Amino acid sequence: MSLMIFGTMIVLLLLGFPMMIPLIAGSLIGFVSLFGGFGQLDTMVQQILGGIRPASLIAVPMFIFAADIMTRGQSANRLIDLVMAFVGHLKGGLAVSTATACTLFGAVSGSTQATVVAVGGPLRPRMLKAGYNDSFVLALIVNSSDIAFLIPPSIGMIIYGVVSGTSISELFIAGIGPGVLILIMFSVYSYFYAKRYDVPTEAKSSWSERVGAVRRALWPLGFPVIIVGGIYGGIFSPTEAAAACVLYALILEMVVFREMNVKQLYATAKSTGLITAVVFILVGAGAAFSYVISFAQIPQQVLGAIGIDDMGPYAILFTISIAFFVGCMFVDPIVVILILVPIFAPVVDSAGLDPVLVGTIITLQVAIGSATPPFGCDIFTAIAVFKRPYAEVIRGTPPFIIMLITVAVLLIFFPQIALFLRDLAFAE
Amino acid sequence: MTAEDDRRSDHEPTTPPPGGAPAADDDIDDSAYVSGLPGVLGVIDVSIARIEAVLLALGVLLMALNTVANVVGRYLLGRSIFFSEELNQALIILITFAGISYAARHGRHIRMSAIFDALPPRLRKPLMIVIAVVTAAAMFLLTWYSIAYVGTQASRGRLLPALQIPVWWIIVWAPLGFFLTGLQYALTAIKNLIHKDIWLSTSTMEGYDDTGKEEV
Amino acid sequence: ADTWRYAFEEAMDEVQGQFAQKFKEEVEANSDHTVQLFPFGTLGESTDIMEQAQSGILQFVDQSPGFTGALIPEAQVFFVPYLLPQDEEKLATFFEESKAINELFPPLYEEQGLKLLTMFPEGEVMMTTTEPVKGPDDLNEVKFRVMTNPLLVESYQAFGATPTPLPWGEVYGALQTGIIQGQENPAFFIESTKMYEVTDHITRTGHNNFTTAVMANLDFYEGLSEEEQTVVSDAIDAAFDFIIDYQEGLTEESLEKIKEAKPSMTITTLSEEERQPFMETADEVEQEFLEIGGDQAQEILDQMKADLEAVDAGS
Ligand code: NA
Ligand code: NA
């Protein structure tokens, strides 16, 4: 059954069916063969609805909305002008700033999809204007957003911590090392990319120009204050911070800058709704598909056949990495963690592996998988938001995936990348 | 722009022109929407399209308002809006199901078109018909079973814990959305059968957006 | 030989998971059927697995009555504070002998297509907070996370706190950053979900004991042979005894583990005197329950009180 399901899904996807159809078809085949007919398809509907309902997903439309208002108005450009005033003259400066902004925003907002929209939305046009190739820009945005999984607060780590009984504080700290390492690698790559394709730099700004840029950006600098200050300061949950940004963006663009009228507000809200819908139906269909995988106990069968019980520590870590990577290519990361962690738990335990290290490796794989075709959730978010073809969104991905996998392998052989900070912080 | 295009072409010859146009250019003008249906049915269809658009916009605005109000309530009044979460759930379901039909009308559903676009037109057209028919069938199937699901919820009398209203009120959009989406794809299949050219939706011809343009 | 599917709301090594594993072991030892276990989240949320049990996709499900309130309003009686005793032995006897549980509830579940197999306690609910709590005054203005249930909201409002519904996945982060300053759960759950890492004080107010219920799909259950029904009910009985034993000392053990992991954690058991102001709010919540608890709210509440008196008299 698994072969038929995955085969059908890939064929439908490649033929150009709307992406919800491969996911729906995969679930349909699953439901029909599991329950011997169409009798339980209402549970498939239940799962689709269950997939789009979680309260924590509300941050996604809210950040889409805020970013759309900022981009149509002046806020986004004023913020980017500020960044450019300081790094515009550096080779790859804009790309490195984009990667850093995605990492930071993703870390704080807790949602990689929101990051793709909120940071990628305003920055992509500027990067294109600066002369970067679109595939590079898209891949940079999607992959840098995924670093967010590793940097606290991370929902993935919280779920892992709860399911495996591992200290969440330790996980949070262990994620920082690999997260920063990846950001550094992306930055170095961006620098060499800009050099290789000779992306032009802007003239270095004078200090008076910089002061001017700061002044122009004073109002929009309220956004980072709301998001970082609001969330880390314990005033907002990420979802609430997103809604607060919407409110602030509306005040700036409609009252302060007078850039937006009610008609444009309506158009922006509608466009946000449309993007939300095409992304969320995929999230819902993906949830129905996850249900089939989980109900049929496909991971248990596959892993049982491989024989994880008799493996050495390195083999176990590699198997875990591959299992999570493949899982997240098809299924929502949270569900993958919920299903796979209990399956691996006894093996991890008996091999005496550090659960914090395992958690960090899993979180990294989840991040990679979410940015990886065919069904990585950040890929379809990017397609919906940037209205670029699927092939173009994924074309620039390979170098990033290679860097991420390099870090994943490094992490297995040099666990100190993750555990160094943890040991420092939790030293007896 | 020429310098950029050259640089682009030296390593990725097939890249289309940059999509850096401001988002506002992509806005769908609902007054320009032409239904794929004739006569009275067409008038009804145009009205439904309008309603979908309004629901999308209102849904998003209400969601923002509800979420902000919850924060304000918590800090200024010392009381959370205890039904805030459920209201957002209701809104996200509304937005999703009003939106999938609206997206189908305007050919906005996400698809991987690389292979499709590379095929010659005489293969693309029948494939488009197959895609539209299969998608419509899947949507109608889900319409049927979501009616069943809504019916079950109604008959069990399940209530939302905080709002204390029946659950089925907030999920009734699912069958509606699936049905209207299925209808759009069915109409797209018909449009492709009786008209020449290749139609991505009843109102969107292939090549209308720049995804298609590169191949023309 | 059939495969029976059993879903529950917690992880494999938490209380519901332990119960399910014992049940599986017993069924598989005494019949040729196999039981597949689906822990928290693998088949959807609590309401999803409940619906699947109702529609017969799942044969068994564990859902806490508090969550069942949307379906069977009477089940919310378990959220009325200071109703259940904290003494574990009394509690076990109550669950075994209670007329409310064994006679009044089953027909209510049957109306929903479910066979109520058993209810069992999961442990005393405790508050974990960032500031110490000695009385309702200390909860004033404290944003306290509760499940989205009207009675819990009412309880904490009556305690003086600002009840703040938050999805479970956001609770850890919200405690860490300070959006909320407290949450409640049984000790084993505070330990396993690491809530103690982001709070500093545990307070035992004794206001509730978390209860859960195991059910079977009614059609499935009635379609079983008498022999098979006996296998099921024997397995439930064995798992019940097992879980009562398992829990003896579990609370203390969990608290010790917390203390070991975070020595600075304070654990305070409020005296009867200190509990008095909390207890005085119970009436308010009881009234609310009678209002929203469905047709049989009064009957169930009265019967539970009578059952508890009987347990007291018997011991
Ligand atoms: Na994060
Ligand atoms: Na994914």
Confidence of residue C245 (pLDDT cuts 50, 70, 90): very high
Question: Is A21 a residue whose pLDDT tops 90?
Answer: yes
Q: Chain A closest CA to C18's CA: distance in Å?
A: 14
Run of H or E residues at B65: helix B39-72
Residue B134 confidence (pLDDT) above 60: yes
Which residues in chain C are contacts of A295 at CB distance < 8 A?
5, 38, 43, 57
3-state class (DSSP) for residue C260:
helix
Q: Is residue B18's pLDDT more than 80?
A: no
Chain segment A327-364, per-residue pLDDT in tens: 888 887 888 888 888 888 888 888 889 999 999 999 99
Residue ranges of C 146-185 with Cβ closer than 8 A to chain A? 166-167, 169-170, 172-174, 176-179
> Is the pLDDT score of B6 beyond 50?
no
On the question of pLDDT at A18 being above 50, the answer is yes
Which residues in C lie closer than 8 A to residue B159 (C-beta atoms)? Answer: 70, 73
Best of A274, A276, A377 to substitute, by most chain B Cβ atoms within 10 angstroms, is A274
pLDDT digits (tens, 9 = 90+) for C51-94: 999 999 999 999 998 788 888 999 999 999 999 988 888 999 99
Which pLDDT score, from 0 to 100, does residue A305 have?
A: 82
| Local confidence band at A424 (pLDDT 50, 70, 90 cut-offs) | confident
Average pLDDT, integer, range B131-158: 96
Per the domain annotation, does B172 fall within a domain? yes
* B159 assigned to some structural domain: yes
* Closest ligand to residue A238's CA: 1
Which of B74, B152, B161 is closest, CB to CB, to C164? B74
Environment class of residue B207 by beta-carbon count within 10 Å: exposed (0-12), middle (13-18) or buried (19+)? middle
Partners of chain C (3+ Cβ pairs below 8 A): A, B
Shortest Cα–Cα distance, A127 to chain B (Å):
9
Closest among A2, A294, A44, A348 to C38, alpha carbons compared = A294
CB proximity A20 to C under 8 Å:
no
Q: Above 50 in pLDDT, residue B12?
A: no
- The per-residue pLDDT for range A176-211, each reduced to its tens digit, is 999 999 999 999 999 999 999 999 888 899 999 999
Q: Using CA atoms, how far apart are residues C204 and C254, in angstroms rounded to an integer?
A: 14
On whether residue B27 sits in a domain, the answer given is no
pLDDT at C55: 92
R_g (Cα) of chain C, nearest Å? 19
Q: Which of A40, A163, A297 sits opposite C55 (nearest CB)?
A: A40
Closest-CA residue in chain C for B83?
C148
Report which of residues C168 and A222 the model is more confident about. A222
Which residue of chain A is at minimal alpha-carbon distance from C51? Answer: A43
Q: What's the pLDDT band for B207 if we cut at 50, 70, 90?
A: low
In whole angstroms, give the CA distance from residue A410 to residue C183. Answer: 39
Closest to C216 measured CA to CA, from C44, C52, C94, C25: C52
Residue B204 lies in a domain: no
pLDDT at A164: 85
Query: Which of chain A's residues have a Cβ under 8 Å away from the Cβ of B56?
Result: 269-270, 273-274, 277
Chain C residues whose CB is inside 8 A of the B82 CB are 148, 150, 153, 163, 165
Chains touching chain A at 3 or more Cβ pairs under 8 angstroms?
A: B, C
Q: Is the pLDDT of residue C298 over 80?
A: yes
**Residue bearing the bigger pLDDT, B195 or A256:** A256
The phi and psi torsions of B165 (rounded to 5 degrees) equal -115, 155
Interface of A with C in 383-402 (CB under 8 A): none
pLDDT, residue A248, reads 95
Average pLDDT, chain C: 94
Q: Mind listing the pLDDT tens digit for each residue in B73-106?
A: 888 887 778 889 899 999 999 999 999 999 999 9
3-class DSSP assignment, residue C211: strand
- Predicted local confidence at residue A314, as pLDDT: 92
Count of domains observed in chain B: 1
Note the pLDDT of residue B26: 65
Above pLDDT 90, what percent of chain B?
52
> C40 CB near a chain A CB, below 8 Å?
yes
Instruction: Encode pLDDT of A85-102 as tens digits.
Output: 998 899 999 999 999 999
Q: Which residue has the higher pLDDT, B3 or C274?
A: C274
Q: Which residues of C touch B79 (CB under 8 A)?
A: 162
Strands C114-129 and C201-204: antiparallel
- Is residue B98 one of the residues assigned to a domain? yes
pLDDT at B60: 97
C-alpha A84/C-alpha A98 separation (Å) is 11
| Host domain of residue B64 | 40-194
Cβ-contact B67, A240 below 8 angstroms: yes
ipTM beyond cut 0.95: no
Residue C130 is encoded by which pair of tokens? 């960032």
In a domain, B203, yes or no: no
Which residues of B fall within a CB distance of 8 Å from C162? Answer: 74, 78-80
* B212 within a domain of the structure (yes/no): no
Segment C106-161, tens digit of pLDDT? 999 999 999 999 999 999 999 999 999 999 999 998 999 998 788 999 999 999 99
Residue B127 lies in a domain: yes
Select the more confidently predicted residue: B209 or C45: C45
Residue C19: name the closest of C214, C152, C216 by CA: C214
Domain parsing of chain A, residue ranges: 54-260+297-426
Q: What is the DSSP letter of A206?
A: P
**Chains with 3 or more CB pairs closer than 8 angstroms to B?**
A, C
Ligand 1 centroid to Cα of residue C253, in Å, is 33
Assigned token pair, C220: 């499935």
Mean pLDDT of A380-390: 86
pTM: 0.89
pLDDT in tens, C11-24: 888 999 999 999 99
The model's confidence at residue A110, banded by pLDDT at 50, 70 and 90, is confident
Instruction: Give the per-residue pLDDT at A363.
Output: 93
Confidence of residue B185 (pLDDT cuts 50, 70, 90): very high
Out of B74, B160, B161, the one facing C162 most closely (by C-beta) is: B74
Under the phi-then-psi rule, with left for phi > 0, alpha for psi from -120 to 50, and beta for the rest, what region is C123? Answer: left
Give the model's pLDDT for residue A375: 77
Q: pLDDT value at position A95? A: 95
Region at A80 (left for phi over 0; alpha for psi -120 to 50; beta for the rest): alpha
- Taking a C-beta distance cutoff of 8 angstroms, is the pair B182, B143 a contact? yes
Considering only CB atoms, which chain C residues are within 8 Å of B152? 51, 55
A137 touches A96 (CB < 8 A): no
| Nearest-by-Cβ selection for B152 from A19, A42, A242 | A42
